Structure 1
Amino acid sequence: MKFLNRGLLALTLIFTASLLQSSEYLYKDEVIFNPAFNQEVNRLGSELYEKTGISLRLIMLRELPRDKSIVEYEKELMQNFNEPTILLTFSELDMRVDILAKPVSLYEYFDKKQVLSPISSPVQAFVVALLNMDFSDMSSGGTILPLLAQKAKDGEQKGKYSGSMFNGYADIAEQVAKSKNVVLENAVGSANQTTILVVKVLFYGVIVYAIIMYIKRKIYLRRQSHEKK
């Protein structure tokens, strides 16, 4: 009986240790609950840490604590980590995304503004600036918000969340690795660029359609004006 109890205790400890290790880089998940997503994040995060000593953790929240901003939440959570850490945090109900790095020198290894840009390409940035007549901010290359902003059918929300957040997670990891002159075997690479290309095609399709409808409207109004005369 004692042998069985010891064996059960050993298995419990092994399982607990395995569970903690598997959730190390997908540090908190209240949204996706997908083992495959967990595995992909932890595989990439583990390799990045082994090769650079930098821990990149993904936080997937259902909702931020009451009366607390996403930055305040990240700063509080950051106190749990001693090693150089980058937090990529998403809150579903608040629809907020942020990146916090400690120490601040880690920002030298990746472009936070680019990762969190709502614009996916320089051409798109120019079009948006032209429409708004504001060229003060032409940042582009966003790998999270352009995907997060896409409409999803019922039942596909989690797929959109996991795709956009892993896209950003991989972007940060690859930028850090490149800055550290290391190669990540689990990098997303060309697959990441293909996803962004799809977003660009969808965006430009909407822009072209809007322009065509605008021209048609102008022609229609002009004809109506001539007919009245």
Structure 2
Amino acid sequence: MRVFDIRGVLIALFVFCGALNANVFFYNDDKILSDKVILRLNEIATELHDKTGIYVGAGVFNSLDYQSNLQAKFDLLHIKSPYAFIMIVKNEKKVEIFADKNTSKLFDKDAILSPFPESGTILPILASKNGKDIFNAAIMNGYADLSEQIAKSKNIELISAIGNANKNTLNIFRFFVYSSIVLVFALMIYKKRVKR
């Protein structure tokens, strides 16, 4: 008869209980989000949660699954305060950020969900017809923006932060495009005046 080592049983029990209490930061229907993106965002989520106690999560769902709206779908997740949560429902083409009263003061929801590329970090990507990976890119940008705004409001630096590299690159590109357009118009006006 085999005798169990009590230390091994206690360690296994501790690990099992830890797994039950661990935060699930990301909900991912049918693996819409890649494992690589979830792994990267999990670093940010864990660091932010450890430093602030605020749960910041995200979910990409195929559909509302007979729920009447996004709020009803969110309520099924039973997330406790303090929290912020980005939800995208693929088939209904809906996006929302949920947050408790105190956490909602730590970030600019309207800016994150803006349809304009210069401020919005989710909708401009989802509206893009290009690219097969729009959900990964939208969640990555939106989640990074949300987390970094919350960290900044709490005067905390996130070591795992992605930063505004994508946004800065887009702004530089936009500057060159608009400058080129202005330059073309200026040259056209100049040529018309020279001909006179």
TM-score by length of 2: 0.75
* Alpha-carbon offset, residue 191 of structure 1: 2.2
Could you say which residue in structure 2 is the equivalent of 1:41?
Answer: 41
In structure 2, the CA distance between the partners of 1:34 and 1:14, relative to structure 1 (3 Å rule), is farther
Paired residue secondary structure (1:99): strand
Could you say which residue in structure 2 is the equivalent of 1:170?
Answer: 144
User: 1:20, 1:200 → 2: CA distance?
Assistant: 45
* Alpha-carbon offset, residue 106 of structure 1: 1.4
Query: Which aligned pairs between 1:10-21 and structure 2 lie closer than 5 A?
Result: 14=15, 21=22
Could you say which residue in structure 2 is the equivalent of 1:56?
Answer: 56
Task: Give, as a single letter, the amino acid of the residue that structure 2 aligns with 1:112.
Answer: K
Query: Which aligned pairs between 1:136-151 and structure 2 lie closer than 5 A?
Result: 141-151=119-129
User: 2:164, 2:53 → 1: CA distance?
Assistant: 25
Paired residue secondary structure (1:183): coil
Paired residue secondary structure (2:50): helix
In structure 2, the CA distance between the partners of 1:119 and 1:11, relative to structure 1 (3 Å rule), is same
* Alpha-carbon offset, residue 88 of structure 1: 0.7
In structure 2, the CA distance between the partners of 1:144 and 1:196, relative to structure 1 (3 Å rule), is farther
Could you say which residue in structure 2 is the equivalent of 1:92?
Answer: 90
* Alpha-carbon offset, residue 168 of structure 1: 0.4
Query: Which aligned pairs between 1:23-42 and structure 2 lie closer than 5 A?
Result: 24-26=24-26, 28-30=27-29, 31-42=31-42
User: 2:18, 2:47 → 1: CA distance?
Assistant: 19
In structure 2, the CA distance between the partners of 1:196 and 1:146, relative to structure 1 (3 Å rule), is farther
Structure 1: 5+ residue stretches without partners: 122-140, 213-229
TM-score by length of 1: 0.65
- Structure with more of its chain in helix, by fraction: 1
In structure 2, the CA distance between the partners of 1:3 and 1:57, relative to structure 1 (3 Å rule), is farther
What root-mean-square deviation, in Å, do the aligned CA atoms of Structure 1 and Structure 2 show?
3.3
What percent of counterpart residues are identical? 29
User: 1:169, 1:99 → 2: CA distance?
Assistant: 10
User: 1:100, 1:167 → 2: CA distance?
Assistant: 17
Task: Give, as a single letter, the amino acid of the residue that structure 2 aligns with 1:93.
Answer: N
Could you say which residue in structure 1 is the equivalent of 2:111?
Answer: 114
Task: Give, as a single letter, the amino acid of the residue that structure 2 aligns with 1:181.
Answer: N
Task: Give, as a single letter, the amino acid of the residue that structure 2 aligns with 1:166.
Answer: M
Could you say which residue in structure 2 is the equivalent of 1:66?
Answer: 66
User: 1:32, 1:16 → 2: CA distance?
Assistant: 29
User: 2:93, 2:166 → 1: CA distance?
Assistant: 22
Is the 1:43–1:186 Cα contact (8 Å) retained in structure 2? yes
Is the 2:55–2:83 Cα contact (8 Å) retained in structure 1? yes
Could you say which residue in structure 2 is the equivalent of 1:189?
Answer: 163
Paired residue secondary structure (2:102): helix
* Alpha-carbon offset, residue 24 of structure 1: 1.8
Task: Give, as a single letter, the amino acid of the residue that structure 1 aligns with 2:89.
Answer: S
Paired residue secondary structure (2:130): coil
Q: How many residues align?
A: 176
Relative to structure 2, which stretch is displaced further, 68-77 or 10-19? Answer: 10-19
Task: Give, as a single letter, the amino acid of the residue that structure 2 aligns with 1:72.
Answer: A
User: 2:69, 2:127 → 1: CA distance?
Assistant: 21
Paired residue secondary structure (1:56): strand
